[in-house]
Amino acid sequence: MLRTSISADVIYLSDAEWARIAPLLPPQRPRIGRPAHDHRRIVSGILWVQRTGGPWRQMPIRYGRWTTVASRYHRWKKAGVWQRVQAALHGNRSSTEEVQHEFRTR
């Protein structure tokens, strides 16, 4: 079950939750060229949209630019990464339940 701390619409993963999902994510890009965006911050932004039902454009800037977070979500969803993350956060529910839990794209 997802246990995030929520305070004034702020969502952060606990260290235990992050430890479960970090290995499921693609490797961070090396810090050359444009700065890489931290996966943990991006995941928190995705969860903010999912939890609040708010549109990407209204996501608080503390999670990064909404275009970056939305782009990462869509890439991870297409590659099956996001489904694995949800399964890890929600106690490995069946894939049918994961699809039913998926939020609509904004």
Give the contacts of 1 (CB within 8 A, at least 6 positions apart): 90, 91
Number of folded domains that form the chain: 1
* pTM summary value: 0.73
| Inside any domain, residue 33 | no
| Inside any domain, residue 47 | yes
Domain that holds residue 15: 5-27+38-101
| Inside any domain, residue 86 | yes
| Inside any domain, residue 73 | yes
Per-residue HEC secondary structure of the chain comes to: CCCCEEECCEEECCHHHHHHHHHHCCCCCCCCCCCCCCHHHHHHHHHHHHHHCCCHHHCCHHHCCHHHHHHHHHHHHHHCHHHHHHHHHCCCCCHHHHHHHCCCCC
Residue 8 pLDDT exceeds 50? no
pLDDT digits (tens, 9 = 90+) for 48-103: 998 888 899 999 999 999 999 999 999 999 999 999 988 888 875 544 344 334 44
